Structure 1
Amino acid sequence: MTQIPRSALILGLAGVLPFAWGALTMVSPWAANFAASTLGPRFAGPYVQLFYGAVILSFMSGVLWGFATKAEGGQAATGYGLSVLPALWAFFMTGGGPVSAGIYLIFGFLGLLALDFAFWRWGLAPDWWMKLRVLLTVLVLACLAVGVVL
């Protein structure tokens, strides 16, 4: 497996920050108060994680769609069909309360990782893709777990 490009790694890790911030505001009263008073309540607690998680699942649908453009015939059709699943999952499954929405996001990110693996195995994703996606998924799941457990 080749090394993850530095820019992809840095931007990927930066993309985890809203999940980490949400987790921090759930365990730190100071951070929660700061977020609520300075940024607004939408940027504190599980709310930032849930909204951002839905955005990221939708974004990743676009990434998978881009990978599907490298395929041909039936594999392309399958790739396009699979690529929309994370966005649809986010749309239909995150409307409940914060705990159930968090659980559904966890399953959504696990499903996304399975799709990442499929596209990678088909040779549509870069060689380093799974190394990056496993790292980011583990970090995101850890942050979402804070919201589900607390």
Structure 2
Amino acid sequence: MIGAPKAPLFLGLAGLIPFVWGALTYLSGDLNAWGAQNLGARFVGPYVQLFYGSVILSFMSGVLWGFATKTSGSKAGLCYTLSVLPALWAFFMTGGGPVQAGTNLIYGFAGLLILDALFTFWRLTPVWWMRLRVLLTAVVVASLAVGVYM
């Protein structure tokens, strides 16, 4: 589809489920009620998106850390420093209520995409990385936007 190996592509797409599910349960009262009753209240609407979004930003810090291992010297120090920013952003910026937290997660994922582009520019990522990251980030941001702007 986008040149990524099947495992990262399918796992990346599967990782979108909580974001899309959260948006759908935000938009549909019936689906929200079903999800809350059968899965629990924290697995619907903005709750699932905000918690999972924080987890994914932290996970992506680890991915960037892994890319940072491909360099050395002062560039390595810069890459390691940049790699922890998404996790720190998630930790410090996801409080203050669902709209503010959702907005900050949108900014966090946009910033992560910039870091992805920078690491790609430095040739630390696989050649297919940005195509996958753009697709995944677009769905994540659109899903989070449902809770923030609707």
Q: TM-score range by the shorter chain?
A: over 0.9
Instruction: Give every structure 1 segment of 4 or more consecutive aligned residues whose post-TM-superposition deviation is greater than 3 Å.
Output: none
1:123 Cα deviation (Å)? Answer: 0.7
Correspondence list, 1:64-143, <5 A? 64-143=64-143
Residues 40-63 of structure 1 deviation map (CA, whole Å, 9 limit, x = unaligned): 110011000000000000000000
1:23 Cα deviation (Å)? Answer: 0.2
CA distance in structure 1 between the aligned counterparts of 2:104 and 2:124, rounded to whole angstroms: 27
1:78 Cα deviation (Å)? Answer: 0.4
Aligned residue type for 1:112: L
CA distance in structure 2 between the aligned counterparts of 1:50 and 1:27, rounded to whole angstroms: 16
Structure 2 gap segments, 5+ residues each: none
CA distance in structure 2 between the aligned counterparts of 1:132 and 1:125, rounded to whole angstroms: 11
Residues 26-50 of structure 1 deviation map (CA, whole Å, 9 limit, x = unaligned): 0111210011111111001100000
Aligned to 2:36: 36
1:149 Cα deviation (Å)? Answer: 1.3
1:95 Cα deviation (Å)? Answer: 1.0
Structure 1 gap segments, 5+ residues each: none
CA distance in structure 2 between the aligned counterparts of 1:83 and 1:74, rounded to whole angstroms: 14
1:121 Cα deviation (Å)? Answer: 0.6
Q: Equivalent residue of 2:15, what SS?
A: helix
Residues 4-43 of structure 1 deviation map (CA, whole Å, 9 limit, x = unaligned): 1111111100000000000000011121001111111100
Aligned residue type for 1:44: V
Residues 108-142 of structure 1 deviation map (CA, whole Å, 9 limit, x = unaligned): 00000000000111010000000000000000000
1:96 Cα deviation (Å)? Answer: 1.1
Aligned residue type for 1:97: G
CA distance in structure 1 between the aligned counterparts of 2:3 and 2:14, rounded to whole angstroms: 18
Aligned to 1:6: 6
Q: Equivalent residue of 1:95, what SS?
A: coil
CA distance in structure 2 between the aligned counterparts of 1:50 and 1:62, rounded to whole angstroms: 19
Q: CA RMSD in A?
A: 0.9
CA distance in structure 1 between the aligned counterparts of 2:109 and 2:93, rounded to whole angstroms: 12
